[in-house]
Chain A
């Protein structure tokens, strides 16, 4: 078993490459995914190696990309679709919600649409409008879709292959501000975790922090800072899968700590954090020492980038939240 150090970006590329080598029906589609390798270079080199029929530069039309991907899936292909930025998925929303999510159900299980829809998401890169959104709640709310996100190179590599192998459509959220974070990947025979398994990244006993994607690093830094300062012991749970949720891991952690914070970039109102707060209240009520606290984006449109350091939850806001929870 060898270990390789690479970035999340390169791990995603490696994951797709492995899936394409394993299954000739896997193909990539999107805007600029060919020669350019995508605006984030996640498909870099793949068109050269797999050809234009398997790494398809599409017209600039997101509904068209998703709609034709559905047709390709009906013909037996496994398209992996790149949406260039989070805020550009909305033209494809109808195809995703009305067709991708419902085809298996509508056909009483006779038709499968094993798509992976890759969406670079979240803020923190100083971008213009529509380039920094965390819109995962729309898709987690939609029955028929699976929604996952990665926070490490190892997850990027394995979860991409698992998502492509899934017979259900998977929305794969990529934490774009973490693309260049490096880490080690065990090049093992099998993935270390199930696609829909949550992972405790840092054990603790006072406060559970439920987080995912780009916020995982912030939560881990907060946990470390708190430990160094002799503060409360934080357990950081990286959810990885937003639909379905790994209820057992979440509940076990909160029952142990008795305090729960949900930390993510998305707006809190009717978001993933609302669902998680409801779940924890329902399953852990008698073990809770404090109300579930949500630390997220404010409920405004994503602000101009000069504001984003204040908009996005950071280490201080998480530690402040921990203090609030501990005060109960």
Chain B
């Protein structure tokens, strides 16, 4: 082994804000359009194809998703929710991916993918039930092709891969019919990349060439652990070792996230196999409402990322391009307030489920033990009603 080999395998220095020369970007932190480079060239057609309506739509999504998120956090602080995992700072990463998906594409989220849920048409109120303790998810995944939130980190990467193997068997890949060809998209974070399930999913996807896109939001923190506790080689580069293309995208640039995701999904639907996308972004808030990030990270780091805010840069960009004006922004802000008020009302009015419901779905088919316990529970409860 030469000295060069040794050097090549030293862990890279952690720079939390620099995505490096491989990072695909179309909007810089100031909202300026980045020139075409060797890195972003292949994605430029997707960025350039965006109409003014679509650009406005993306900014609207970003603003509304942030408002939904902040309302979720407020509802937790008011005692209406037991927990809330904030997506603050990751709006562009999620909206870019979510808007790249077609109706038939199936999303397999973690538990922070409120922005993807929004783009897939899931009513935000559905996301609150599990955090309020009235269910464990409970929405109809097949209604919007958005699977239930998965709390055990990394499990969903395999579900997406298996689902994509099903797509292959159904022949819904590579037909050229844009309404038929389908992909699965799996979401996790930098912490998730250390899980066995994540790594096994990449193996299965590579050897089967299943139509799945792995979307890693590298938000730099897994609760209190910085991402240098999760990997020494960044996720987009590790993809190569599994035999699938990996690409790093500026996760705070919604146009770049959209373009890169569209390219990967097109590739998957076309029958050319899986892709790994690493969205380089930052978790601006705490891990969840139960977390206290002041114990493990410095404010200066957060400030550096605040200057890269995904909404500020898109708003500035569209204002400068004349695609939006202050009046349009005021209209969206009002829409966001209405959305938040409606969400708050719906949350407060969300009924507690009847307790008998906890027995109802343990099994799909009749099960004598559960039936006996449900009957005993009902009889026991009825005893109190008599008093």
Same complex origin of A and B: yes
Q: How many chain A residues touch the partner (CB < 8 A)?
A: 46
B362 lies within 8 A of A105 (CB): yes
A104 lies within 8 A of B170 (CB): no
Given A72-B163, A77-B166, A244-B368 in contact, is the A64-B203 Cβ separation under 8 Å? yes
The residues in B between 124 and 139 inclusive whose CB is less than 8 angstroms from any CB of A are 135-139
Which of A91-99, A173-181, A306-314 touches B? A91-99
Given A72-B165, A247-B368 in contact, is the A63-B197 Cβ separation under 8 Å? yes
Q: Which of B139, B140, B160, B197 has the most CB of A within 10 A?
A: B197
A168 lies within 8 A of B364 (CB): yes
Interchain CA distance A107-B146 in the complex, whole Å = 12
Interchain CA distance A94-B200 in the complex, whole Å = 14
B192 to chain A, nearest CB (A): 13
A75 lies within 8 A of B365 (CB): no
Chain B minimum-CB-distance residue to A102: B136
A8 within 8 A of B: no
B159 lies within 8 A of A67 (CB): yes
Interchain CA distance A166-B363 in the complex, whole Å = 10
Interchain CA distance A110-B364 in the complex, whole Å = 9
| Chain A residues whose C-beta falls within 8 Å of the C-beta of B365 in the assembled complex | 166-168
B146 to chain A, nearest CB (A): 12
By size class, the interface of chain B is: 35 or more
Given A98-B152, A110-B142, A244-B368 in contact, is the A75-B200 Cβ separation under 8 Å? no
Interchain CA distance A111-B157 in the complex, whole Å = 18
| Chain B residues whose C-beta falls within 8 Å of the C-beta of A117 in the assembled complex | none
Interchain CA distance A292-B158 in the complex, whole Å = 45
B141 lies within 8 A of A71 (CB): no
B204 within 8 A of A: yes
A109 lies within 8 A of B158 (CB): no
Which of A39-47, A53-61, A131-139, A225-233 touches B? A53-61
* 21 CB-based A-B contacts, threshold 8 Å: A63-B197, A64-B203, A67-B159, A71-B158, A71-B159, A71-B163, A72-B169, A74-B159, A74-B166, A94-B152, A94-B155, A95-B158, A99-B152, A99-B155, A99-B159, A105-B136, A107-B137, A108-B135, A111-B141, A114-B364, A146-B363
Q: Which residues of B contact A (CB under 8 A)?
A: 108, 135-142, 147-148, 150, 152, 155, 157-170, 184, 196-197, 200-201, 203-204, 207, 357, 360-365, 367-370
